[in-house]
């Protein structure tokens, strides 16, 4: 699924889009919130007890490499800054 989202983002960027399908859609909002289950926002933007953070962080190095390379985390961060409430309150 993450690979598919990475492909959507690359195609969208190729057409000059800033989001997964070009313009902001629910998919961008869903991605931004879901991404915190595998790579949470930094502690100052998503405070949580330190013991919980590892439970929200994937241990898969290939997934983290794909997230970093694809720009999906950058998209998550931008969607939060521009459209969602920060800091995230759990």
Residues 6+ apart with CB under 8 A from 50: none
Integer CA distances (angstroms), 59 to 8, 47, 62, in order:
24, 20, 9
Rounded Cα gap, residues 86 and 90, in angstroms: 11
Give the single-character DSSP code of 56: G
What pLDDT band is residue 90 in, cutting at 50, 70 and 90? confident
Per-residue pLDDT tens over the stretch 19-66: 999 999 999 999 999 999 999 999 999 999 999 999 999 999 999 999
Considering the entire predicted model, what is its pTM? 0.91
């Amino acid at each position: 699924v993450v690979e598919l989202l990475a492909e959507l983002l690359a195609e969208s960027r190729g057409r000059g889009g800033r989001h997964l399908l070009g313009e902001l859609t629910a998919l961008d909002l869903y991605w931004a919130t879901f991404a915190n289950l595998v790579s949470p926002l930094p502690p100052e933007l998503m405070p949580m007890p330190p013991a919980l953070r590892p439970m929200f962080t994937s241990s898969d190095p290939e997934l983290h490499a794909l997230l970093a390379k694809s720009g999906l985390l950058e998209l998550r961060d931008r969607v939060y800054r521009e459209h969602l409430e920060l800091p995230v309150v759990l």
